[in-house]
Chains A and B, each alone.
Chain A
Amino acid sequence: MSWWDPFIEAFPSLIKAVPLTVMLAVTAVTIGIVIAVFITLARMSGSAFLRWPAYTYVYVIRGTPLFLQLFFIYYGLAQLDIIRHSMLWPLFRDEYWCALLALSLNTSAYGSEIIRGGIQGVAKGQIEAALAFALSPVQRFTRIIFPQALRQMLPAYGNEVVLMIKATSIASTVTIMEVTGTARAIASETYAPVQVFIAAGLIYLALTGSLTYGVHCLEKALHKRGGLAVAR
């Protein structure tokens, strides 16, 4: 048996775990964007009662490790009677939902910073011009602010999806068998950790690499069309 055999043999099982990794990341980012939009609205609103909780939320999540957040949700919250007796208990008992919740909340905090940056990046003159044209607030947002903010947000959000794919590996610590979890299981069966983890690393590289390339192409397409404003 050559040194490379465990490396090659690990691939089929690892590839079978890829859909779970991708599902976790994609679902988390989708839920995360929805939450992030609300957080951003709260952070940019005029009321301090909305601004402060949103600021605290973002600060707490960005200031602590995702690993700790996951354990807090999975082990910590599961202790509280309010959670145990609530309708949500079946969800909090399930490691998949806990991991999804932790990932979604985590990416929502980073995402809201990206969205805020994108919106604030729109030049003041553009908004003044829109006001001078007497566009309604909705028109101002859909025609002027959003298309330009989107173009600025896209690279940063692409990066965030890459980070999420990497972050799903942490879900393996609550027994979810995605790529990293599967790799650990194979490694402890075959006693060939180096080969198996290198194989898993290559799979992650392929995932993140193709994602980066996809975002790059999308970015180019958006720039060529001069943004969505003209297209509509």
Chain B
Amino acid sequence: MTLLVAALGFLGGNIIGAVVAIARVLGPAPVKWLGATYTTVVRGVPELLIIYLLFFGGGEFFRFIAKIFFLGGDGFADAFIAGVLALSVVSGAYSAEVFRGAAGAVPRGMFDAARTFGMRPFQMLRLIAIPQVLRYGLPAMANVWQLTLKDTALISVTGLVELMRTTDIAAGSTQRQFFFYTISIMIFLGFTALSDFLFRRAENFCGCHGHAGGKG
């Protein structure tokens, strides 16, 4: 459940992030301003507050969506959708900044060159912008993924039974808190180590030798 919520949240965040980043780079002034407000507000407010707002504020709306997707019991649908949405909104703000930074790192000359080759805007996006943004942005995306993974623990306040909530229940019913919280810490460390490893593989694959500022 933790991984599912994290993965969906991260995916949703990437979509939001990409849209907002494109809006902020290419859009007209009001759209740019809107994008900037979104990233500033979300990054300036605690994640827990965003979760509370969506969970307690969006009840009706989520139940409606849940009905469309035939998801089970009301309580579960609320917590699950609020959780995924909250994580998407939060990680979207961070990944928008990452994409924007990475887009800025693509040399202008590349686009000029593409234009001289007679590429259409969509081709430019697909062949020039996206591959390079992914490459420059990958190390930072790894950070956003780790943040999202850790933020899933906060979703437990809505009662969604993910790793943290499971730990709380197990610890509470057996009165062996020390044991269960230690296990849970180990599991999170395992996730972190695994994702570290996978992202490093991905970085090697993309040919970006990660972590900027390395002394070459």
Footprint of B on A, CB under 8 Å?
Answer: 59-60, 62-69, 71-72, 75-80, 121, 162, 166-170, 172-173, 180, 183-184, 187, 193-194, 197-198, 200-201, 204-205, 208-209
Output the nearest chain B residue to A83 by Cβ-Cβ distance: B178
Known: A63-B188, A173-B157. A72 touches B182 (CB 8 A): yes
CB of A172 within 8 A of CB of B48, answer yes
Output the nearest chain B residue to A202 by Cβ-Cβ distance: B45
CB of A71 within 8 A of CB of B168, answer yes
29 A-B contacts (beta carbon < 8 Å): A60-B189, A63-B146, A63-B192, A64-B150, A64-B185, A65-B151, A65-B154, A67-B154, A68-B181, A68-B185, A72-B185, A76-B178, A76-B181, A79-B175, A166-B45, A167-B46, A169-B47, A180-B48, A187-B56, A193-B52, A193-B56, A197-B52, A201-B41, A201-B45, A201-B49, A204-B44, A204-B45, A204-B46, A209-B44
Which secondary structure dominates where chain B touches chain A? helix
Residues of chain B lying within 8 A (CB to CB) of residue A197 = 49, 52-53, 56-57
CA distance A204 to B52 in the complex (A): 14
Known: A72-B182, A79-B178, A193-B57. A65 touches B171 (CB 8 A): no
Name the contact of A75 in the complex, choosing from B49, B57, B177, B213 (C-beta under 8 A): B177
CA distance A63 to B48 in the complex (A): 19
CA distance A121 to B214 in the complex (A): 10
Which residues in chain B, 164-187, are within 8 Å of chain A measured between CB atoms? 164, 167-168, 171, 175-178, 180-182, 184-185
Most B CB atoms within 10 A — which of A62, A72, A80, A172? Answer: A72
Footprint of A on B, CB under 8 Å?
Answer: 40-41, 44-50, 52-53, 56-57, 146, 150-154, 156-157, 164, 167-168, 171, 175-178, 180-182, 184-185, 188-189, 192-193, 213
Other than A68-B184, A180-B46, give 12 A-B pairs with Cβ distance below 8 A. Answer: A65-B164, A71-B164, A71-B177, A72-B178, A75-B171, A76-B177, A79-B176, A166-B47, A168-B46, A193-B52, A197-B56, A201-B53
